[in-house]
Chains A and B, each alone.
Chain A
Amino acid sequence: MADASAHATGHAQGQQHPIRLYLVVWGWLFVLSTFSYLVDYFHLQGGLRYSLILLFMMLKAGLIVAVFMHMAWERLALVYAILVPVAAVLVFVAIMVLESDYTLLSRMTFFLPGA
């Protein structure tokens, strides 16, 4: 655990990690971005397209937040204070999905020509 003690002592004067870690994450972000571009390039459709887009998006976001922004090494109090409120966004998304379905239905019922 020489690695762990290096991290721990480095932490006292700020975040200090080997450069290699950043280069590896950088490489992975490139690979994942290429994958998400290929999803569009090969015209994947339907559930496969959307699940792949979301998967690559979450992996990229996770790598950036955890390693580049050093969230993986922060105390849980800060991690929870920042990440838990983001769940409210998901609730908002759910509300607006229901709302837009309702709006679409009303528009098709009352405003669509020939309906």
Chain B
Amino acid sequence: MAEAALTRTSVDNPYAPQPGLRGVAADFASDQKAFKNVSWGKAMMWIFLLSDTFVFSCFLIAYMTARMSTTVPWPNPSEVFALTIGGTSLPLILIAIMTFVLISSSGTMAMAVNFGYRRDRKKTAILMLVTALLGATFVGMQAFEWTKLIHEGVRPWGNPWGAAQFGSSFFMITGFHGTHVTFGVIFLLITARKVWRGDFDTGQQGFFTSRRGRYEAVEIMGLYWHFVDLVWVFIFAFFYLW
């Protein structure tokens, strides 16, 4: 649909971006910038996320290899991560709550991006703060989960229930993901402060790059945050449910 607007002028302007596969070839062969209507900041965030995809893929593949090649039974995650609430043992309940918390934070982030482009400073900042709060809740629950498992004797080199690689895979994968969430929360707070102060309306220069920020910064921040949620979808499926 956006393509229609871009191609409207193609009669008067032979360099106007084209749709479809022809457009892909033309964009990459154009001897200018390949990503026509995407700023360098957004393109770089996407490329960073692609590299991060490979990092997490390597962790998950290492976990798959360990689990497939061990002769010792793998601990049952459904039982390992069960919690007893009110006398009944619920399988994976904490992980399920963590999933809902992270999905909700993605929802508020998506709306923050939307309000950012509508120049609604207050709503954008509040939604980003809610996102950061949900992210911090997620990290808190993860810390609780780590503590519980360490008390039960899970170590990177062994655990009471089966294959030793369970602990190393668990700490590596969830630890790296939790670190991503933590950094996301920090950047959310920084960006929310800028939005609140109106830095993107007044064109104030950033403290680090001395460039004038735009509301696109909120969308780029959102890309990172949704990626963290995306990685959790795969960890939830492969590590906790499989």
Binding site for B on A (CB under 8 A): 3-5, 7-17, 19, 22-23, 25-26, 29-30, 33, 36-37, 39-41, 43, 50, 53-54, 56-57, 60-61, 64-65, 67-70, 73-78, 80-82, 85-86, 89, 92-93, 96-97, 99-101, 103-104, 107-108, 111-112
Contact = CB atoms under 8 A, between A and B. Distances in A.
Contacts of B46: 78, 81-82
B64 to A, nearest CB: 6
A76 B24 contact: yes
B237 A75 contact: no
B5 A8 contact: yes
Interface of B: 1-6, 17, 19-21, 23-24, 27-28, 34-38, 43, 46-47, 49-50, 53-54, 57-58, 61, 64-65, 68-71, 78, 91-92, 96, 99-100, 103-104, 106-107, 109-111, 113-114, 117-118, 215-216, 219, 222-223, 226-227, 229-230, 233-234, 236-237, 240-242
A41 to B, nearest CB: 6
Contacts, number: 176
Given A19-B114, A26-B107, A8 B35 contact: no
6 contacts: A36-B236, A36-B241, A50-B242, A76-B20, A77-B27, A85-B50
Contact of B230 (A10, A14, A15, A65): A65
B103 A26 contact: yes
Contacts of B107: 22-23, 25-26, 29
Nearest to B240: A40
A15 B71 contact: no
Contacts of B35: 75, 77-78, 81
Which one of B118, B215, B237 has the highest number of Cβ atoms from chain A below 10 Å of its Cβ? B237
B64 A13 contact: no
